[in-house]
Amino acid sequence: MDKATGGWISGFIGVLIFSGSLPATRMAVLQFDPIFLTVARATIAGMLALALLLMMKQKRPSGRDLAALAVVAGGVVLGFPLLTALALQHVTSAHSIVFIGLLPLATAIFGVLRGGERPRPAFWIFSGLGSAAVAGFALSQGLTASPTGDLLMLAAVLVCGLGYAEGARLSRTLGGWQVISWALVLSLPVMLVVALYCRPPSFDGIAAPAWLGLGYVSLFSMLIGFVFWYRGLALGGIAAVGQLQLLQPIFGLALAAWLLGEPVSWTMLVVTLAVIACVAGARRFAR
């Protein structure tokens, strides 16, 4: 198997795992405070990552990598989880999932700025069309669903795209699972303190779905998914493999309908299919 194919396979597995993130966050945020949920998931994943690094006897990253790891931590450990948890207090996970269609474009832009990649002009046309379809969906709703929720999702996409691109760049030298593990460990002291401070007065009455949601986003969304995702971006290219994120809305909408019983409108499906058509064209001109 060549490097590019391995990258696409790893990236696809990562997307499958991430597809459950917003439905799981929605399940958890119905009973957990968004700030507590954000720091709790990072704390749990950080402890697991620390144990993994110690067991595997990994060397500490160099001083020049710490700033980049801080960017990764700010984008995918703190920024995206917190902003999406806040957004999901205002919108359904089915509505928010469509905004994930903007992630490939954001990741590609930061891949150029931080990773030195240079996709062909046609790539930007297809990526722009996909993003326009997502923006058109939000406007077609008249932003009546929740302007606050939509703006929070847009901010989440931007910080996540930066975290993806920076993590992929680091993965070329540190390795995929090492990058997310060190980013989690770097965040752990602050996250642990805030989690203890923000914890609910009592956990009595927290239903099983909320615990399952917390467990999923802590283990899969925060750690395991990134092992595959960063490896895929590093091997197959940030801009190219990043386009696989356009599959995430389809998987996420299906999960939202199945697990949460949320309505999935024809508009959402049409927009998602249009965006996926755009990624097919973007992938062709990614390099």
Contact (CB, 8 A) for 272 and 253: yes
Cβ atoms of 121 and 266 within 8 Å: the answer is no
- CA dist 280 and 212 (Å) reads 34
Q: What are phi and psi of 20, to 5 degrees?
A: -85, -5
Tell me phi and psi for residue 171, to 5 degrees.
-65, -25
The pLDDT value given to residue 143: 52
Separation between Cα atoms, residue 135 and residue 131, nearest integer Å: 6
Segments in the chain forming alpha helices (H):
3-18, 21-29, 34-55, 63-72, 80-87, 93-98, 103-115, 121-140, 147-174, 176-198, 208-216, 225-236, 238-242, 248-260, 266-284
* Alpha-carbon span 52 to 57, nearest angstrom: 8
What's the pLDDT band for 42 if we cut at 50, 70, 90? very high
Give yes or no for a contact between 263 and 122, defined as CB atoms under 8 angstroms apart: no
pLDDT at 234 over 90: no
- pLDDT tens figures, 252-273: 777 777 777 777 777 777 877 8
Report how far residue 22's alpha carbon sits from residue 216's, in angstroms, rounded to the nearest whole number.
Answer: 10
pTM for this structure? 0.84
> 183, 167 in Cβ contact below 8 A?
yes
Is the pLDDT higher at 252 or at 78? 78
Q: Where residue 285 falls among pLDDT bands split at 50, 70, 90?
A: confident
Mean pLDDT of all residues in the chain?
86
pLDDT value of residue 139: 64
The whole-number average pLDDT for the span 176-195 is 94
- Highest mean predicted confidence (pLDDT) among 82-86, 101-105, 262-266: 82-86
Residue whose entry in the numeric block shows the structure tokens 């309908």: 257
First to last CA, the chain: 20
- Statement: residue 144 has pLDDT above 60: no
From start to end of the chain, where are the E strands? Answer: none
Average pLDDT over residues 50-78: 92
Give the whole-number percent of the chain exceeding pLDDT 70: 95
Check residue 246 and report its DSSP letter: G
Q: Is the CB of residue 92 less than 8 Å from the CB of residue 144?
A: no
Residue 67: per-residue pLDDT: 92
